[in-house]
Structure formats: structure tokens, C-alpha cells
Amino acid sequence: MTMKKWKEIKKHGYNIILNEGGQNIAYSPNSGVKIIEEDGYAFKNLSKSGKLEKYEDWRLPVEERAKDLASKMSIEQIAGLMLYSAHQSISTKDDFFSKAFAGTYNGKKLEECDAKITDLTDQQKNFLLNDNLRHVLITVVDDAKTSAVWNNNVQAFVEKTGLGIPVNTSSDPRHGASADTEFNAGAGGDISKWPEPLGLAATFDSELVRNFGHIAAKEYRALGIATALSPQVDIATEPRWMRFNGTLGEDPILSRDLGEAYCDGFQTSYGENEINDGWGYDSVNAMVKHWPGGGSGEGGRDAHYAYGKFAVYPGNNFDDHLIPFTEGAFKLKGKTKKASAVMPYYTISYNQDKKNGENVGNSYNKYIINDLLRDEYKYDGVVCTDWMITKDNHVVDAFISGKCWGVETLSEDERHYKALMAGVDQFGGNNEVKPVLNAYEMGVKEHGEEFMRARFEKSAARLLLNIFRTGLFENPYVDVDKSQELVGNPEFMQAGYDAQLKSLIMLKNKNNVLPINERKKYIFQKEK
């Protein structure tokens, strides 16, 4: 008789099982998931099949588990996995982002009922249950406790459905000192405050950026976040571009070095938190953006708007824009080796398609995604589109609108199909599964069912791999009390503050103010 090698501990809202010498697992006692014992160890029977499936066996390589699960998924489930939700706010704050992304609870607004902000909204339940969506983007949160409790509620909800695939929650950068800037809607809660990316670049210190990644990843995981929609390594060659401050500067080599450190810091786990190959419970998937570089918008205009759809590379320096990706994010010093995901930009990289001569948005361009990224540079991670590229655009100067550049005459279903055939795995900002299923049927008609099934499984395996490697299949829950203690703790706050000091650059040392040898009073006046 095999000796039992595990014990179970009840936590608030979930139970955790400690496997002696193996991976610990956690589950909701209300989800209906049963525990299977094999060789004395405990495993979650997420499939509800009554037997231990390969994807449920934490002893197997994650690549084998991902392929096994992909083979078991229906086309509807894979199509749902290909969705990345529109922005979700988990906040009671009276601000733009909280209001713009608010949902309803049994048809009522939060303030009209007795629901809690940590409850799932009607919209979230719908896209998780009916559309099989498993990738969620969150913006504003009230605090660490709110984010942690919401995460646990979401994971318990999906654990009891389908094959029990956990939710992979993501965030735009959260660590800037300002909580209300346009591209920092994710900021909020008592998280440590660091320089914005251009400020990190101003430190000229790769190891500082690597340390930032380690700290930020720990805080992300305490909030329930396992994917970072960053870093933004676009070369800032156009100073009029409104996303200039989100980059790591204008130098390809500096951006290469800092981008490598950023991704490596976010993705690498150490010690008891490492599961395998550098991945583990402190790891956060880095989605590096925006391939193949969106910092050369025509006239400094941005591709969020219809008038900024073209990237023109006026210095004929297209290859320079690739360096932070191909020599940085794809060649990490740590064991995780490369950024696990890539986001192409909205832009049409004008006249850069050397094979088909197409001028379409980068996610639709087979040369940019398949020939260049996949074949030439051998990138085999997830490719996720930027948000809302498959929606129609009706207003030339609207920020929140569809961005279907170069494929405006195609239907929404046809846009999904074209992007899939270009090599895309996932659609950002799309909560609805129907267009993906219609794209699948288009592929079946053109290439046959066997071809399209294989095409979908390939993307599913890539997407699942990022969930397996971060340990979410074993334990997607977070300890609320520990989250409150860790997020924004004094040590992390001090590190962020020190980094902000190092990011300051003096442009002019008038009257030799520095260095300060003795305390003096200075009165500064504007030059006439």
C-alpha cells in the first residue's frame, strides 16, 4: 500500500494541499473538483473524468501537458482561449476608468444593489462561461485585498466549468508614480512606485531594471496577475509620438539591454518558488510590444487613431527597430530564454512586406508575423493582437474605437480569419467568441477540417503553456493576508524611490550648484 504523501489545509475561500516533495495544489471546495491520489500524491481532477489526465499531472513536462489539454478541447473552447477581454475595472473609485469599464450585477449597477466589487459582473460571468474566455485584462483596482479576493472568486468560478482551465489575468504597467495617466489605467492600490519606462531608461542600469522586474512580478502575482502587457520596447525615433514616455528610449542598444532585463526580471522565479526552467510562482509572462516597432508613426501621429495608421521609417532604419526584440527580449540571460508573448502594433509598416507587398495592419500581415517573426527569427511564443483591431472604425480621431487598418473593407469574421492565417494566436479586446468560430468555418471551407483543427491546437498549446508555466493549473489562488503584506511593502517602496532618484538627469549645472560641499541657500530666477 502506497503511503499518503499529502495533507490538506483549509484557507479562506479555498483549500491548499501540500504534496511532500511535489507541487502544492489548491482548489475551491465549492467547485465540485475531486482530488485523485496516485503514488501517494494528490492531483486535481479538473476534467471531472474520474481519472488522472496527462494535463492534470504536475509531474509531467508542461509542454506535454499543454498539448494533451489542447487535444481534449473543443473548437469552441479553443476559440474562447484565443480571446483577450476588454478592460475590466475592479474599483469603486469615482473616476473615468472605473466608470468607463464598470459592469452590472444581476442587471443593476454596483451602487444599486448589495453586491461587492469583488463579485463577478454579469458581463464577466457571460464571457467566462458562454464564450470560454480565460484571459482577462484588469485596469483600476481599489487595493491589494480587493484584487486578491476578486482573483479567487474568478478562479473558483472557472474551476467548476469545462476542463477547469484557470484565468490568466493581465495588466498594463501599474508601477508609475501617476495613477491617472492615459496608459497607466492599471495603477492603483498601494503598489510600489517606480520611474515610468523612459525614466528607467534614464538610469542606464540594466540590473536596476532587472530588480524592478523581480519586485513588480512579486506584486503582480500577489494581486492575482500572471501576465504583464509590457515592456514597450518601440524605438522612440519620433519625439512627437504620444507614447514616447512608455518606451525605453531612442537607442536600440539601450532598449535591447533594458528590455532583456525587464522581461527576465518579470519571468524568472528562484528558490522554492521556481517550478522548472526558471518559471514558477513568482513568474509573470512578459508580452513585449509592439512588433516590429511602432515608434516611427508618420508625422508623430499614433495608430490608436485612424489618422496615425502608418509607420513609415523615414531613416530607412526598419531593422534597427527589431533589435530590442530579436537581440533583447528573445535572448534573455535567465532560464526562461525569451519573452513568452509578443504584441504587434496597430500600425501598417508601410512598404516593409518584402514577400507579398501588402500594406495592412501588422497583425494581418503574414510576412511581418509568419515569415519574419516566426520563420526568420524563430519566435514560437504567443502572438496577441493589440486591442480592438477587428472592430470597425467610424471616427477618425476616436481613441476607443475599432482599429482595422488596411482591412477596413473586410467583415469582422474575415479579419479574424486573415489574422489567424497570418500567424496570430489571440485577439486583444475581444470578448465574443462567434467571430473566431466563423473564422474557423472559413478555414474549414478553404483548407479542410483537419488543417484548421491542427491550426487551432497549435495556438491553444502556446496559450496554455503560459498558464502552465506560471503554476496556475496547480494553484491559481492567492493568500489575501499575504498579498496585503507584500504589495507596496516598505522595502519595495524604498527600491522604487531609489530608482526614481537615479532616473533624474541634470540638464544644466548653472553656477556649479553641484556637487554640494556645504549647505547654502540658492535663489533661482528665470533667465530673461
| Phi, psi at 136, each rounded to 5° | -125, 130
Active-site residue 397, yes or no? no
Q: Which of 485, 436, 438 is nearest to 190 (CA)?
A: 485
CA distances (Å), 65 to each of 53, 196, 354, 465, in order?
9, 38, 38, 8
Asked if residue 20 belongs to a domain, the reply is: yes
Does residue 439 lie within any of the structural domains? yes
Phi, psi of 287 (to 5 degrees): -100, 95
Name the helix (H) or strand (E) containing 423.
Answer: none
The separation between CA 14 and the C-alpha centre of its own chain, rounded to angstroms, equals: 25
Pair 438, 400 in one domain: yes
Query: Are residues 327 and 469 located together in one domain of the fold?
Result: yes
pLDDT score at 184:
43
- Grid cell listed for 37: 491520489
| Within-domain flag for 88 | yes
For residue 489, what is the enclosing H or E element?
A: none
What DSSP state is assigned to residue 518? Answer: S
- Report the amino acid identity of residue 350: Y
C-alpha cell at 27: 482548489
Do 42 and 173 belong to one domain? no
User: Does 386 participate in catalysis according to the annotation?
Assistant: yes
Q: Among 17, 36, 60, identify where a domain stops.
A: 60
Give strand pairing partners of 171. Answer: 138, 228
Q: Any idea which residue has 517606480 for its cell? A: 194
Pairing status of strand 41-45 against strand 285-291: unpaired
Burial code of 441-460, b = ≥16 C-beta within 10 A, e = fewer? ebbeeeeeeeebbebbbbbb
How far is CA 192 from each of CA 78, 215, 279, 299, 490, rounded to the nearest angstrom?
Answer: 36, 9, 23, 36, 9
> Out of 180, 190, 251, 498, which one is annotated catalytic?
251
Q: Are residues 327 and 315 in the same domain?
A: yes
CB neighbours of 364 closer than 8 A, spacing ≥ 6? Answer: 358, 389, 406, 407, 415, 418, 419, 422
Q: Give Cα separations from 311 to 232, 236, 461 (angstroms).
A: 16, 12, 32
Helices (H) and strands (E) in the chain, counts: 15, 18
Task: Say whether both 297 and 230 belong to one domain.
Answer: yes
Q: Which three cell numbers stand for residue 227?
A: 501576465
End-to-end CA, the chain: 90
Can you give the CATH number for the domain in which 444 is found?
3.20.20.300
pLDDT at 521: 66
Per the structure, the count of domains in the chain is: 2
Contacts of 37 (CB under 8 A, 6+ apart): 4, 6, 43
Q: What is the pLDDT along the chain (528 residues), one digit of tens a residue?
A: 688 999 999 998 899 999 999 999 999 999 999 999 999 999 999 999 999 999 999 999 999 999 999 999 999 999 999 999 999 999 888 777 777 788 999 999 999 999 999 999 999 999 999 999 999 999 989 999 999 999 999 999 999 999 999 999 999 999 987 644 434 444 445 799 999 999 999 999 999 999 999 999 999 999 999 999 999 999 998 889 999 899 999 999 999 999 999 999 999 999 999 999 999 999 999 999 999 999 999 999 999 999 999 999 988 999 999 999 999 999 999 999 999 999 999 999 999 999 999 999 999 999 999 999 999 999 999 999 999 999 999 888 888 889 999 999 999 999 999 999 999 999 999 999 999 999 999 999 999 999 999 999 999 999 999 999 999 999 999 999 999 999 999 999 999 999 999 999 888 888 888 887 777 665 656 555
CA distance 509 to 490: 33
CA 469 – CA 274 distance, rounded (Å): 10
pTM: 0.94
Residue 505 in any domain: the answer is no
Strands 15-19 and 25-27: antiparallel
Q: Are 173 and 128 in contact (CB under 8 A)?
A: no
Are residues 293 and 333 located together in one domain of the fold? yes
C-alpha distances (whole Å) from 505 to each of 46, 175, 199, 323 are 53, 20, 9, 26
Q: Same domain, yes or no, for 172 and 306?
A: yes
Residue 380 lies in a domain: yes
CA 284 to chain centre: 8
Residue 359 CA to residue 348 CA, distance in Å, equals 6
Instruction: Measure the CA–CA gap between 190 and 463, rounded to whole angstroms.
Output: 30
Q: Is position 187 within any domain?
A: yes
Q: Which three cell numbers stand for residue 455?
A: 491550426
Cell of 293: 516597432
For residue 528, the model assigns a pLDDT of 53
CA distance 345 to 403: 10
For 108, list phi and psi in degrees, rounded to 5.
-115, 155
Q: For residue 44, give the nearest of 27, 66, 69 by alpha carbon.
A: 27
Q: What is d(CA 452, CA 449) in angstroms, rounded to the nearest whole number?
A: 5
Residue 410 belongs to domain spanning = 64-486
β-partners of residue 341 are 287, 382
Q: Residues 52, 71: one domain?
A: no
Cβ atoms < 10 Å from Cβ of 185? 25
- Report cis status (omega within 30 of 0) of the bond before 324: no
Supply the pLDDT for residue 520: 63
Instruction: With respect to residue 524, please indicate whether it lies within any of the assigned structural domains.
Output: no
Q: Does residue 393 contact residue 408 with C-beta atoms inside 8 Å?
A: yes
Q: Tell me whether residue 181 is exposed, middle or buried, using C-beta atoms within 10 angstroms of its C-beta: 0 to 12, 13 to 18, 19 or more.
A: middle
Identity of the amino acid at 46: L
Q: Report yes or no on 522 lying in a domain.
A: no
Decide: helix, strand or coil at residue 37. strand
Q: Residue by residue, what is the 3-state secondary structure of 255-302?
A: HHHHHHHHHHHHHCCCHHHEEECCEECCCCEEEEEEECCCCCEHHHCC
Say if residue 37 is in the same domain as residue 104: no
**Residue of 131, 143, 320, 386 marked active site:** 386
Domain identity same for 338 and 445: yes
Assess whether 120 and 18 both reside in one domain.
Answer: no
Neighbouring C-beta atoms of residue 296, cutoff 10 Å: 25
352 φ/ψ angles, rounded to the nearest 5 degrees: -100, -5
Same domain, 69 and 56: no
